[in-house]
């Protein structure tokens, strides 16, 4: 519980964002990203990326206004490297190349529509490409991976969804839907494909007080194991300094049959990546020299995976396995022979990528699934 280190990002600013943890350049090591809030000197606001191992600055990306929530992460241009999505109070959503801190694209809904909520990312229409869901003022919208608009939804009554959206299939079409709470005390679910309303729950009315509001994002899961998904969300009302007027209530509401997946915390996971999209490491994309005689079995697997490969010259080999975030999860050197067996019974259920090397270079590479 003792601090290991601290760094001065900008001593004249606050940091409102939670750190996003991600391997920015696919070197197998984690990095982290934060952004500053300075409403006195707006030009000093920036997004900062650091190496986690030694806290060295990788890059700094300047913006012209404050940022409250952190970044969402996905490979939006299929280069095997992550892009970072962050909203700014200057009405702009920024897409930043994670490896070097340059601009990929910008999107602005229009003057006065500040981008305060965190973006979330998923393949909403099943086309194999990731879409970005954003919330600005009373609008919730979806963008394609290149920043073009897919759909826009206007929240009735000019209500806002400041904590962003959870993404999970709740209508059993196997595609993610969009669920959020509003400052008017409503929980709203939209069809992720086109932004059409699936349902609206007026929980301010249920509570019996028009000042009941949601300032939290929802969670989605089958919490009671009844084969139907539920939405959990906490709302209420707060006054300062008149705390005696505060009140609140937690709600669990039936969402519907659906395939999920679970959305169990704010910005979805402990890395705060706000995304259902997996990042394929760049070496898998860029290097097409995979030896066809390399085989992987069983695939999918649940207890172990065997990788067989040619080794006519009896060289020692090295195997590196990456998870969907590009992090090294398994590494073994001095492999002798023509196969290696990986015990993965206790691994997370996910997709994994491997690279097999010897002294002459890459012998083979590919992917396998643990289920």
Residue 276 lies in a domain: no
The C-alpha atoms of residue 275 and residue 350 are separated, in whole angstroms, by 14
The C-alpha atoms of residue 371 and residue 361 are separated, in whole angstroms, by 30
> Do 90 and 209 lie in a common domain?
no
Residue 179 lies in a domain: yes
Residue 274 lies in a domain: no
Question: With contact defined as beta carbons under 8 Å apart, do 123 and 277 qualify?
Answer: yes
Residue 183 lies in a domain: yes
> Do 180 and 233 lie in a common domain?
yes
> Do 94 and 26 lie in a common domain?
yes
Residue 56 lies in a domain: yes
What's the number of domains the chain is made of? Answer: 3
> Do 7 and 147 lie in a common domain?
no
pLDDT recorded at residue 280: 64
Residue 277 lies in a domain: no
Report the CATH number at residue 191.
2.40.128.630
Residue 13 lies in a domain: yes
Q: Please provide the average confidence, as pLDDT, over all residues in the chain.
A: 92
Residue 32 lies in a domain: yes
> Do 85 and 105 lie in a common domain?
yes
For 5-39, what is each residue's pLDDT tens digit?
A: 999 999 999 999 999 999 998 877 889 999 999 99
Mean pLDDT of all residues in 290-318: 83
> Do 249 and 133 lie in a common domain?
yes
Question: With contact defined as beta carbons under 8 Å apart, do 132 and 121 qualify?
Answer: yes
Mean pLDDT of all residues in 319-326: 85
pLDDT recorded at residue 314: 86
Computed over its alpha carbons, how large is the radius of gyration of the chain? 23
> Do 98 and 126 lie in a common domain?
no
Q: Which two tokens stand for residue 112?
A: 């006065």
For 137-182, what is each residue's pLDDT tens digit?
A: 999 999 999 999 999 999 999 999 999 999 999 999 999 999 999 9
Chosen domain end from 202, 236, 269? 269
Mean pLDDT of all residues in 245-249: 97
- The percentage of residues in the chain with a pLDDT greater than 70, rounded to a whole number, is 96
> Do 110 and 130 lie in a common domain?
no
> Do 105 and 153 lie in a common domain?
no
- The percentage of residues in the chain with a pLDDT greater than 90, rounded to a whole number, is 73
Report the CATH number at residue 90.
2.40.10.480
For 203-215, what is each residue's pLDDT tens digit?
A: 999 999 999 999 9
Chosen domain end from 85, 114, 143? 114
Residue 341: Cβ within 10 Å count: 10
Residue 142: give the domain boundaries. 117-269
> Do 123 and 244 lie in a common domain?
yes
Lowest mean pLDDT among 26-35, 109-118, 125-134, 292-301: 292-301
pTM (predicted TM-score): 0.79
The C-alpha atoms of residue 19 and residue 323 are separated, in whole angstroms, by 20
> Do 154 and 252 lie in a common domain?
yes
Q: Coil, strand, or helix at residue 50?
A: strand
pLDDT recorded at residue 165: 98
pLDDT recorded at residue 327: 81
CB within 8 A of 260, min separation 6: which ones? 168, 169, 220, 221, 222, 229
> Do 149 and 89 lie in a common domain?
no
Question: With contact defined as beta carbons under 8 Å apart, do 95 and 145 qualify?
Answer: no
Greater pLDDT, 93 or 283 = 93
Chosen domain end from 269, 301, 324? 269
């Amino acid at each position: 519980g003792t601090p290991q280190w601290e760094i001065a990002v900008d001593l004249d600013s606050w940091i409102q964002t939670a750190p996003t943890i991600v391997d920015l350049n696919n070197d197998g090591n984690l990095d982290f990203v934060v952004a500053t809030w300075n409403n006195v000197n707006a030009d000093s606001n920036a997004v900062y990326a650091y190496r986690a191992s030694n806290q060295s600055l990788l890059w700094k990306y300047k913006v012209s206004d404050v940022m409250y929530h952190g970044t969402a992460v996905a490979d939006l241009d299929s280069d095997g490297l992550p892009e970072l999505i962050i909203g700014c109070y200057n009405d702009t959503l920024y897409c930043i190349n994670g490896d070097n801190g340059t601009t990929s694209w910008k999107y602005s809904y229009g003057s006065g529509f500040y981008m305060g909520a965190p973006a979330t990312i998923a393949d909403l229409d099943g086309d194999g490409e990731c879409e970005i869901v954003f919330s600005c003022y009373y609008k919730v919208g979806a963008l394609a991976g290149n920043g073009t608009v897919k759909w826009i939804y206007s929240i009735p009554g000019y209500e806002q969804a400041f904590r962003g959206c959870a993404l999970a299939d709740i209508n059993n079409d196997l595609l993610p839907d969009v669920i959020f709470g509003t400052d008017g005390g409503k929980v709203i679910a939209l069809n992720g494909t086109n932004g059409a309303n699936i349902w609206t729950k007026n929980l301010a009315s249920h509570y019996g007080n028009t000042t009941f509001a949601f300032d939290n994002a929802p969670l989605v899961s089958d919490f009671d194991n009844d084969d139907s998904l539920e939405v959990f969300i906490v709302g209420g009302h707060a006054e300062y300094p008149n705390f005696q007027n505060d009140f609140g209530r937690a709600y669990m509401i039936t969402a519907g049959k659906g395939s999920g997946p679970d959305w169990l915390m704010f910005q979805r996971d402990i890395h705060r990546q706000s995304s259902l999209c997996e990042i394929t490491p760049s070496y898998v994309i860029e290097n097409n020299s995979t030896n066809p005689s390399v085989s992987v079995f069983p695939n999918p697997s649940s207890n172990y995976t065997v990788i067989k490969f040619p080794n006519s010259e009896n060289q020692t080999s090295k195997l590196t396995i990456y998870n969907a975030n590009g992090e090294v999860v398994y590494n073994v050197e001095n492999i002798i022979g023509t196969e290696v067996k990986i015990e993965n019974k206790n691994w997370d259920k996910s997709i994994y990528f491997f690279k097999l090397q010897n002294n002459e270079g890459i012998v083979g590479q590919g992917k396998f699934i643990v289920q």
